[in-house]
Amino acid sequence: MSDALFPLSNEHKMIRDAARDFAKNEIAPIAAQFDESGEFPYETIKKMGEMGFMGIEVPEQYGGAGMDTLSYVLALEEICKVDASHGVIMSVNNSLYCHGIMKFGTEEQKQKFLKPVASGKAIGAYSLTEPMSGSDAGTMKSRAVRDGDFYVLNGRKSWVTSGPIADYIVVFTMTDPAKKQKGISAFLMDTKNAPGFVRGKKEPKLGIRASATSEIIFENCRVPAANRLGEEGDGFKIAMTVLDAGRIGIGSQALGIAEAAYEASVAYAREREAFGQKIGEFQGTGFKIADMKTRIEAARLLIYNAAAAKERSKATGERYTLQSSMAKLFASETAMFCAHAAVQIHGGMGYSKELPVERFFRDAKITEIYEGTSEIQRHVISRAELGLK
């Protein structure tokens, strides 16, 4: 159904198949091990970079693959069907880090901060959230004070995906607290050359455990003014624009998780017997399968539609906030629905670490939380439809 509305070119099929083969051959054998240990999968992430997966939409002149948004969505979906941890590392690199610099960075910033990350030789991260500032970014407590050709940063950021290992980070902090959201500015930070930059505690997470997440701390950290992304006060606009792209990435991650849960359930329902028949023949199981499949296809169309809107925005400059919020909301709740149904269909085996179903369940939950909770997505969608600012 989706192929008729969003026909795939040979290039689209090529990157989808390459990602599928890589995920099956390179990630699947190690996914459970890295989930259990919580270690960062350096080797496979490096290989993903070499294959062009870490900067899919970035032009080749800046180290990327020079492909379109649908290519990115297709590749990310395949990676996440096997392991959402690898997927979120890829998503943050592409959507939250590379996209922001491509859209708002200077030529010098693109050469210095974009090229190494898009080419897969370095890892990028995005830091907006703080311990007491999540959805309400205007209440952030971190500060950046101008001092000649530098800014001096102080404060604590939290839940930074790839924070423990990132080479470069886009950081959002207050330069004028009196203006709240309009007083936020964005900075590009080279973590290898930032005295006063400290990596804080690593978060012990329920899911996506192989993706490293931590606090970062600034203690009189001096950042060159040349590293400011955009103008002073542009930070909130940059953050929200970047999150439009990020939500397409998380929607794609959620779609991959949902598909994995669904495919495992179909296979199990065809094999497992109870009361003299395959459990898939019972209406209770069959209806779950039907609901999972329907939600997955609806989520896919919303994500592809958002990807098309993002592609159009490259020419028109129009925001695609509504499309990305709807895609992220529905896909993330579909992932949770499908993962929950998969555990139920598998019964006791669904609760065991012997099968990946319980990992799908743990990984699915975060898609309803990060890069804008489901509640925030409903807020964004409803206000857009009611014409409210």
Q: Pick one of 2.40.110.10, 1.10.10.1200, 2.130.10.10, 3.40.1360.10 as the CATH number of 125-232.
A: 2.40.110.10
Q: Give the residue-averaged pLDDT of 326-343.
A: 98
231, 232, 371, 375: which one is catalytic? 371
Q: Output the CA–CA distances (angstroms, integers) from residue 233 to 146, 166, 173, 239, 308, in the order listed.
A: 13, 25, 10, 11, 30
Amino acid at 331: A
Q: Give the pLDDT confidence of 65-75 residue by residue, as tens digits.
A: 999 999 999 99
User: For residue 360, is pLDDT > 50?
Assistant: yes
Contact assessment for residue 53 and residue 90, using Cβ atoms and an 8 Å cutoff: yes
pLDDT of the residue at 7? 85
| CATH class of the domain comprising 236-386 | mainly alpha
pLDDT of the residue at 101? 98
Its CATH architecture, for the domain 2-123, is Orthogonal Bundle (1.10)
pLDDT of the residue at 1? 42
* Contacting residues for 196 by C-beta, under 8 A, at least 6 apart: 153, 218, 219, 220, 221, 222
Question: What's the mean pLDDT when you consider all of the chain?
Answer: 96
**Which residues make up the CATH 1.20.140.10 domain(s) of the chain?**
236-386
Q: Give the residue-averaged pLDDT of 343-362.
A: 97
pLDDT band at 222 (very low <50, low <70, confident <90, very high): very high
pLDDT band at 3 (very low <50, low <70, confident <90, very high): low
Q: Give the pLDDT confidence of 76-135 residue by residue, as tens digits.
A: 999 999 999 999 999 999 999 999 999 999 999 999 999 999 999 999 999 999 998 887
Q: Give the pLDDT confidence of 148-163 residue by residue, as tens digits.
A: 999 999 999 999 999 9
**Which residues make up the CATH 1.10.540.10 domain(s) of the chain?**
2-123
Q: Output the CA–CA distances (angstroms, integers) from residue 345 to 267, 271, 283, 291, 355, in the order listed.
A: 11, 12, 12, 13, 13
**Partners of 184 in the beta sheet?**
174
Q: Give the pLDDT confidence of 262-315 residue by residue, as tens digits.
A: 999 999 999 999 999 999 999 999 999 999 999 999 999 999 999 999 999 999
Q: Give the residue-averaged pLDDT of 41-62.
A: 97
User: For residue 141, is pLDDT > 60?
Assistant: yes
371 a catalytic residue: yes
**Which residues make up the CATH 2.40.110.10 domain(s) of the chain?**
125-232
Round the CA-based radius of gyration of the chain to a whole number and report it: 21
Contact assessment for residue 265 and residue 292, using Cβ atoms and an 8 Å cutoff: yes
Q: For the whole model, what pTM was predicted?
A: 0.96
pLDDT band at 4 (very low <50, low <70, confident <90, very high): low
